[in-house]
Chain A
C-alpha cells in the first residue's frame, strides 16, 4: 500500500484547494497528472525533495530508528518514559543483557558449563529447590556419561512397588527416575522456609521475564538495602526481585563449590554455570532446535529465491507488455 501511495500524497492532501477541485475530473482522465509528481514538480529542487517518496520513507525510518535507539539505550520510550504505572521497585530492576555463549543462531549450550551448573544445583540449590521435570536419563550425553549418571542415580533411594507381596520397597535409582525433590510436599517446603515456597526450577528460565539474564542478575544482585527501605525479618533485599524483598538469602559465595575441572568457583562463575544448566533444563531441545533452524532457513531461503525467479519468469511477458489506447478523434466526449 505504501508503495502505491503517490509520492506527494501528504503534500497534496495538505494543499487541496479550490483550484484542485476543478481539475479533479481532468486529472483522473488525462493520465499525465497521475505521474506529475515525479516529473512536473521537478522544477524546483526543494519541491522535488519535499515530495519524493524516498524523503517520506527516510524521515519515517529516521524517526522510528531514533525512538527505537532511545528505547534500547534507556529502556523506556522518550517523553513517556518518565511515566510509570507502578513504582519501579514493584517490577524490579531491569536485568542487563549478558553475552551468553548460546545466544547466537549458530551457538549451542556450553556443555562443560551445564556440567558445572549441575554441580552447583546439586550442592547448593537442591537443598530447597526441586527440578521435577528432569530425569537422570536427560543428563546422559548432555552433561554426564551414562555410567556417571547411573552412578549418581544409584546413590538415591526411590520408593517402588508394590512387589509380589503387596509391599512397597526401597531401591536404588535408575536412569528413568526423576531427580529427587528436597521436600515431600508443598506444606513441608513452606514450613522449612518460613512460609515461602521455593519454586520448582525446571522451567524457571522460561517462566520469568528476562529469562537467563534475570536469574543471573538475581543470584549475583544481593546488596544491602538502600537507606529508607525497610526489609522484614527473614526477608532479603534484592533490587532485581519484583518488590525488592525476597525470601531467598544470598547463597553463592566465592569458593562455595570445588569444580572437577579446576575452574575457579567465583560467585559470578557459579551463577553463570547454574543459569546455563537451568536454561538447558527449561529448553532441553535448544541445541537440536537451532540445528533444525539452520536447515530450515537454508531450505526456505532457497525455495523463496527459486519462487521469486519462477514468478518473475512467468510474469515477464505481462510486466513487459504495452497497452495502447487510441482515443476516437472524430468525437467529443
Chain B
C-alpha cells in the first residue's frame, strides 16, 4: 500500500487533504477556510521575523518599528504584510462566518465546529487588539487605554482587574511588555483551536449549499479542491500585493505614526476598521456596564444560533424569507461599521441604537420567527397533501 495511506502521520495528511471526500456542489464561498489558514501561517511567519527586531519598551517600541521600516532589509515589506494581512484575516473571517450564517452551517451536527469557530473569532479580536498596541503610536496607546478601561465597568472588582491588566496605574511599560508576550503566545493557542476546528469539521465534513446531505456526490480533496483553493489563494496574494506595495497605509490610521504621548489625547479615538461594529454597539448603550456587556454579547450571541434557529431546513437556498433576513443582517453590520467610525452625535447615535437593536433581535426574534413560520407553512402544506 502507498506510504501515504499507511504511515501514521502521512495517513492523517491523506485523510484531511488528499482523499477527504468533499461535496461536489460547494461554491467558492467554501474557500475561505483555506484562505484563513494561509493568513494564519503568514501572520505567524512575518510576526516571528518582526519580533527579531522589535523592542517591547515604551521608550523604544516606536523607534524599533521605524528601525524595521527603514534599516532592516525589506523590513517594510514584512511589517506592511503583517499589518495588511491582519485586515484580510478579518475580511475573510467575516465572509467565512457569513457563509456559515447563510447556509446554516451551525446547525446540528456541526454545533461543536461552530462553537470552536466563535471562540476563534473572539480570540482573533483579542490578538488583533494586542498587536495594534505594539507599535506604540498615539492610537495604540489611547486605543489600549479605552479598551482596557472598559473592564472597569465590572462591579466591585472592575478597577482592580484593570490595574492587574495594566500592571500599574495606567497603560505603561509593564502593559506593553505583557501585551507583546501575549501577542506572541496567543496565535499559537489560536493555531491549536484551528486544529480543533478542522478536527471537528472532519467528523461530518463540509456543509453544502443545498443543506441536504451530499454523500451521493463527493470528490476527493486532491486534485479537485486543492486546485480550487489555489485559485483563491493566488487571487488573495494578488490583491494583497496591490495593497502592500501600492497602498500600504490605506487601512491604517495616520495618528499611529505619531509616537505615543500620554499627555496628548487624539481628537478622536477609533479602533481598526474591523472592530468598528462592536465599537458602535458599545457606544449605542448609554450605560457603561450594559454597553460593555452588549459589546461582548454581540460576539457571544453567535453561540446561540444553533438553538434559536428553529427551522427544519438547513441553509437559505430554499428559504426566501431567510435570504432577505440574511442580507438585512449584512447591511446592518455595515451600518454599524460606519457608525463606529463617526463621532457619537445625532443622528449617528440614533442610527447606531436602531442598528444595535436590529443586530440582537436578528438572533433572538427574527431567525426563530422565520423558522417557526416556515415550519408551520410546511406542516400546513404537508397535511393538505396527505388528506
Contact = CB atoms under 8 A, between A and B. Distances in A.
A157 to B, nearest CB: 24
A311 B230 CA distance: 8
Interface in B93-140: 98-99, 102
Give the 6 A-B CB pairs with smallest separation, nearest first.
A293-B245, A85-B343, A207-B257, A296-B241, A300-B238, A304-B234
11 contacts: A5-B323, A13-B323, A25-B378, A25-B381, A85-B342, A85-B343, A282-B257, A296-B237, A297-B241, A303-B237, A314-B224
A207 B209 contact: no
A172 interface: no
A209 interface: yes
A70 interface: no
Contact of B320 (A9, A138, A207, A297): A9
Interface in A16-63: 16, 21-22, 24-25, 28
A-side binding surface: helix, strand, loop or mixed?
helix
A63 B270 CA distance: 29
Interface stretch (A230-238, A265-273, A283-291): A283-291
Contacts of B342: 85
A211 interface: yes
A206 B254 contact: yes
Interface residues of B, number: 56
Nearest to B228: A311
Interface in B289-310: none
B385 A293 contact: no
Contact of A292 (B77, B234, B381): B77
Contacts of A207: 254-255, 257-258
Interface string A279-320: 000101100011011001100110110011011001100100
B51 interface: no
Interface of A: 1, 4-6, 9-10, 12-13, 16, 21-22, 24-25, 28, 80, 83, 85-86, 90-91, 105, 133, 138, 202-203, 206-209, 211, 242, 282, 284-285, 289-290, 292-293, 296-297, 300-301, 303-304, 307-308, 310-311, 314-315, 318
Interface string B361-387: 000000000000000011011101100
A148 B108 CA distance: 73
Contact of A318 (B224, B234, B324, B345): B224
A300 B239 CA distance: 9
B257 to A, nearest CB: 4
B274 interface: no
A42 B324 CA distance: 24
